[in-house]
Chains A and B, each alone.
Chain A
């Protein structure tokens, strides 16, 4: 089985210290890799680096990033290591076609990530439009995805403000999987949810990814979540060297 992403020896520096140093991440199709560690360990920074989003100065010092399932030879960090912010911005532009089609991102605060002025159906249609092959029946596909995440078909006509917190989280998840990505990156999708809803959202995320054969890179603070659903765990050390968190 070919890995979806291979990140090797990532080191990102801020002026005063290394924010992450020597981190390796591999995500395989149909498997869940959890990224855990205490506050300030660089979990979100690492997840963004996997998406070629580097926005720290001086920034990337070392590391290699490959998407073997797409192209086993290309190191996306070539020419970016130690080259500063402009090279990082160029990488961001160069990698644009990856985001949305090959990999998608499910953010921490679902309700703020949804477009408040567009219906859920419209936002899903835009996400489906990122696929390499457009479906023949767009509205049928929207209904299928809503079924998959447990939302009623009427949610298609709803604006984000008309959804409860749990429904908004499901809608954000639907938008993340709508382009049929090979890799889903979820940054603490359970933040702010109550324990029952937290489990429901995580289970749904894992089920949808497994149904679609996609890999999942999950950032989570909850030890019980990680213990139950992760196939592989990447532990990051905090700024003081401690291995807290989940």
Chain B
């Protein structure tokens, strides 16, 4: 039997209303997410990459039901998730888990590593204290913390604190894990060990969305990469079979390969217009007026939203 996707996102939009510094200041709309579609299959690790402000954290929060979309649909394991009242979501939340960026802020300073996992398993997982203690100890041992069960957060290194937050999530055997920059601020060798702990211990039926700034992480650990710019996915690629083609995605993966984008992002047409080296004279009019949408390349798992790459088409009517 073929399993359906763990997550399906369709036509996702999110607009925030930003107030000014004073009560009488004019309010403005911030279009954080503008038409995002993607699926995450069981066992698949998908990276959301992009610069700060590109909308990747907003997408991940909407998927978990921590924000409501302005438009669009979220389906989790075949059931509609957006718009549900919290009373209907609560029972299912245990299957959809979040790994925060700030591990120290997410841990109770007075609880040991084992108490963190044990409490999660007994409160959310419905296990007895004895079962929770045994299972929690096993999970911490799998993540290399077998000798640190009684350590308090302040006695742990940054990498160990993050592995406790991972143990707490993975012990629940979730169907989806959304990790928002779980290795931010760690040294390269500790980053590797945290990702190994996360991805190496994901249940086989689970999908994972990894929000990251680190392109080496995305390349090394993820099955598919969604590169975001100005609230849109501008490239979807499996780096084991193809290299990024969108000029912005190429800058993200090798920032030293081209001049630093100076911006600002274009508000009409392709957002990368001002910094794009590919928009030839023939294309420039089209790039300046119309937003390109994802178009499949030679490999069906590879799509690029750029008119300079054959097959790209225009967004359904949006010229913003």
Q: Can you pick out 24 interface pairs between chain A and chain B where the beta carbons lie within 8 Å of each other?
A: A38-B189, A39-B189, A39-B190, A191-B185, A192-B184, A192-B185, A193-B52, A193-B213, A194-B50, A194-B51, A194-B52, A194-B252, A195-B215, A195-B251, A195-B255, A196-B255, A199-B255, A203-B260, A221-B188, A224-B254, A244-B188, A244-B189, A245-B187, A245-B188
Q: Which residues of B contact A154 (CB under 8 A)?
A: none
Instruction: Kindly report which residue of chain A lies nearest to residue B181, judged by CB atoms.
Output: A192
Q: Using Cβ atoms and an 8 Å threshold, which residues of chain A touch B52?
A: 164-166, 193-194, 197
Specify the chain A residue showing the minimal Cβ separation from B212: A194
Q: A143: CB under 8 A from chain B?
A: no
Q: Give A169-200 as 1s and 0s: 1 = Cβ < 8 Å from B's Cβ atoms.
A: 00000000000000000000001111111111
Map CB proximity to A onto B185-199 as digits: 1 under 8 Å, 0 otherwise.
101111000000000
- What A residues does B254 contact at CB under 8 A? 224
Whether B260 contacts A39 by the Cβ 8 Å rule is: no
A195 touches B213 (CB 8 A): yes
Most chain B beta carbons < 10 A, residue from A165, A194, A245: A194
A187-246 residues with Cβ-Cβ distance < 8 A to B are 191-200, 203, 221, 224, 228, 244-246
Chain A interface size band reads: 20 to 34
In the complex, residue of chain A having the shortest beta-carbon distance to the beta carbon of B260? A200
Contact A196 B261 (CB under 8 A): yes
A191 vs B185: C-alpha distance when bound (angstroms): 6
Contacting pair B260 A196 (CB below 8 A): yes
Query: Known pairs A39-B190, A192-B184, A199-B260. 12 more at Cβ < 8 A?
Result: A38-B187, A38-B188, A39-B187, A164-B53, A194-B51, A195-B51, A195-B213, A196-B51, A197-B52, A221-B187, A221-B188, A244-B188
Is there a chain A Cβ closer than 8 Å to B256's Cβ? yes
Chain A residues whose CB sits within 8 angstroms of the CB of B252 once the complex forms: 194-196
Q: How far is the CB of B275 from chain A (nearest CB, A)?
A: 10
- How many residues does chain B have at the interface if contact means C-beta atoms less than 8 Å apart? 20
What residue in chain B is nearest A204 (Cβ atoms)?
B260
Q: Is the CB of A224 within 8 A of B256?
A: yes
Which one of B187, B190, B213, B261 has the greatest number of beta carbons of chain A within 10 Å? Answer: B187
Which B residue's beta carbon lies closest to that of A162? B21
Interface flags, A81-100, vs B, CB<8A=1, else 0: 00000000000000000000
Q: B residues within 8 A CB of A195? A: 51, 213, 215, 251-253, 255
Chain A residues closer than 8 Å to B261, beta-carbon distance:
196
Q: Cβ of A197 and Cβ of B190 under 8 Å apart?
A: no
Measured CA separation A235–B227 after assembly (Å) = 34
What is the bound-complex CA distance between A192 and B251, given in angstroms? 18
In chain B, positions 13-58 with a C-beta closer than 8 Å to chain A are: 50-53
A109 to chain B, nearest CB (A): 8
Instruction: Compute how far the CA of A119 lies from the CA of B254 in the bound complex, rounded to whole angstroms.
Output: 35
The answer to whether A194 touches B213, judged by C-beta atoms less than 8 angstroms apart, is yes
CB-contacts of B249-277 with A (<8 A): 251-256, 260-261
Q: Please, what's the 1-or-0 string for A158-170, where 1 marks a CB less than 8 Å from any CB in chain B? A: 0000001110000
By a CB distance below 8 angstroms, the chain B residues around A199 are 255-256, 260
User: B175-188 interface mask toward A, CB cutoff 8 Å, 1 = contact, 0 = none?
Assistant: 00000000011011
Query: Closest chain B residue to A199 by CB distance?
Result: B255
Interface centre among B50, B185, B189 (most CB of A within 10 A): B189
